[in-house]
Amino acid sequence: MGERPDPRSDPRIPERRRGLRHAWDATGYSLAGLRRLSRETAARMECLGAALGAAALWGAGASAVDVLVAAILFLLLLAVEAINTALEVLTNRVSPGWSEDAKDAKDLGSLAVGLLILANAGWVAAVCTGLA
């Protein structure tokens, strides 16, 4: 087997930095992830659902705490959607053909997203009906 190239000599790999520069770089990576996530139909639909939920909460006269809980649940949903998308991208790369393991990985990621969608919808419904 041939030797692997030194990753430090690959111009596509950014230099690792420390301190505030690392925080700046990490922010850039997060924004790149947000741009990538925004290309996912599911994420856009979840944003639409959040907007509809916010309108329902506003119409129901929800308290600030109720709205804060809804916002936290929505951010958790987007975080899990991002992880699910990353899982799908990696699964497609590692297992480009069909496999039961790849299917299971994608189905489990989808389940995680679906459960958080239920939690979001459940919270909005509970607040709007006075159960929360």
Residues annotated within the binding site for substrate are 42-46, 81, 110
Residues annotated within a binding site: 29, 40, 42-46, 81, 88, 106-107, 110
Kindly state the tokens that stand for 12.
């596509």
Residues annotated within a binding site for ATP: 29, 40, 88, 106-107
Contacts with 109 (C-beta within 8 Å, 6 or more apart), sequence order: 83, 84, 87, 88
Dihedral sign of CA atoms 100, 105, 111, 113 in order: negative
81 is catalytic: yes
Which member of 3, 15, 81, 100 is catalytic?
A: 81
Active site residues: 81
